[in-house]
Amino acid sequence: MESLARGLLRLAKGSARPERAGFLQSITGHFCASHEDEATVCCGLDQNQFVISDSEFPGSTWILLKRPSFCPIKHLEESQAAALPETLRGRGVDVGVAVILQSVDRRVLLTRRAKNLSIFPNIWVPPGGHMEPDEQLLEAGLRELQEETGLRLEPGGFSWRMLGLWESVYPPMLSRGLPRRHHVVVYLLLLSTESHQQLQTRIKADESEVSAYAWLEPHVLECVAAVEDGAENTGRVPNNLPPTIDATELSGGSARPSELPAATFLNTAPAAGDDVERVSTGTRFALRLWLDTLAVRDK
């Protein structure tokens, strides 16, 4: 029933037919050397299934696929894999879609996941979620955006493109436990024709999924994207950043303006122990790609 419940990833090499990716299979490692963490691949929908391939197929797009250097699937030992429940080992790899929503005044919307969520609680990410069977990429992104934030983007009010693919595993490090979730996240860039103030007035975030949200400016996002998870968390805020970031926090069914420490957005993932409030590693990857698009558009 799993394949009916949500979209599962298929992989293809050369002229071979796409096959379902296994839960314990390193997706990035399938297309690059074992010591590398990224590959340029082709991806797209083929017969309503999301496929990643090393060669072009009708409707596909060349795109960057990346994983973190500490990816648990990459470092999983045979004994650890054998310790996983058989039901988990037999699962596939889910496809997720996340939306980098840029306002016309170049702000990007990030949301903080609710503390009670089963994966990545209290982590800052763009709106997104699982891709459902028979959905198009944009359709899934717009649906998740509306479900989480209440924002409905009308045709003609935005343009879009694919940014990149990120291999995501939870927990994100083996030091925090064996893998329980395995996704490939498709990051989409949506360029709105509205300002962040106009969009803000229409946000009605779902408190069961979102505990806060913020519109971040490019100079803030540059600092956020520059942080490398796996490096030491210095706690220092660059001189060009304000000490606090304007945000909106949700509690008890109401939304209120708030100021959050800028240092929170610069936190790195701890190598061991409990996670901290931070921007996810995959989000930083997507923001770096987004900043590259700004540089191209500014030429």
What confidence tens digit (pLDDT) does each residue in 27-38 have? Answer: 999 999 999 999
* Predicted local distance difference test score (pLDDT) of residue 296: 81
* Residue 247: alpha-carbon gap to chain centroid: 20
The vertex-34 CA angle with 163 and 43, nearest 5°, equals 30
Residue 225, judged by CB atoms within 10 A of its CB (0-12, 13-18, 19+), counts as buried
pLDDT digits (tens, 9 = 90+) for 96-123: 999 999 999 999 999 999 999 999 999 9
Distance CA 209, CA 26 (A): 28
Cα 119 from Cα 169, distance rounded (Å)? 10
Residues 149, 205 contacting (CB under 8 angstroms): yes
Q: Give the model's pLDDT for residue 4.
A: 36
pLDDT for 250 equals 97
Amino acid 271: pLDDT? 85
SS3 call for 151: coil
Whole-angstrom Cα distance, residue 122 to residue 210? 9
Return d(Cα 182, Cα 196) in angstroms, integer: 33
Q: Which of 50, 27, 209 is nearest to 140 (CA)?
A: 50
pLDDT 10s digit of each residue in the chain, 299 long?
343 346 799 999 988 999 999 999 999 999 999 999 999 999 999 988 999 999 999 999 999 999 999 999 999 999 999 999 999 999 999 999 999 999 999 999 999 999 999 999 999 999 999 999 889 999 999 999 999 999 999 999 999 999 999 999 999 999 999 999 999 999 999 999 999 999 999 999 999 999 999 999 999 999 999 998 866 666 678 888 999 999 999 999 999 999 999 999 999 998 888 899 999 999 999 999 999 999 887 76
For position 297, what pLDDT does the model report? Answer: 77
Query: What are the structure tokens assigned to 8, written together?
Result: 């599962």
Which residues have a Cβ under 8 Å from the Cβ of 136 and sit 6 or more positions away? 45
Res 6: pLDDT: 62
Hey, is 232 helix, strand or coil?
coil
Answer yes or no: are the C-beta atoms of 165 and 52 closer than 8 Å: yes
All domains in the chain, ordered by first residue: 2-297 (3.90.79.10)
The rounded mean pLDDT for the chain is 94
pLDDT of residue 218: 96
Q: What angle do CA 132, 134, 136 make, to 5 degrees?
A: 85
Query: Tell me, what's the pLDDT at 239?
Result: 82
